[in-house]
Amino acid sequence: MKYVDKEDITRKHDLTIEEVKSLPMFSHFTDEQAEEAIRTIKTFVEIALEYHKKEKENHGEMTDF
């Protein structure tokens, strides 16, 4: 697997409504729908990261986040 420097992919700010609505599949969203999409993505990422962290810990590995 290719190593990706986390500094290259780490966002410095939250996803914005404008960024969501700039994508063709979300361009028809209202601001409220875009905000809900942002909250949903953040929740999914939190769940995925927690799962990953627990899996690493179960295998005796340390996580750096």
pTM for the structure as a whole: 0.72
In a domain, 53, yes or no: yes
CA distance 46 to 43: 5
Q: Are 20 and 29 in contact (CB under 8 A)?
A: yes
Sign for the CA dihedral angle at 62, 55, 47, 18 comes to positive
Number of domains in the chain: 1
The predicted-structure confidence for 15-65, as pLDDT tens digits, reads as follows 999 999 999 999 999 999 999 999 999 999 999 999 999 998 888 887 665
Higher pLDDT, 2 or 48: 48
In a domain, 26, yes or no: yes
What per-residue confidence (pLDDT) applies to 30? 98
CA distance 7 to 12: 10
Sign for the CA dihedral angle at 51, 54, 60, 62 comes to positive
What per-residue confidence (pLDDT) applies to 58? 87
Range of the domain at 32: 15-58
In a domain, 4, yes or no: no
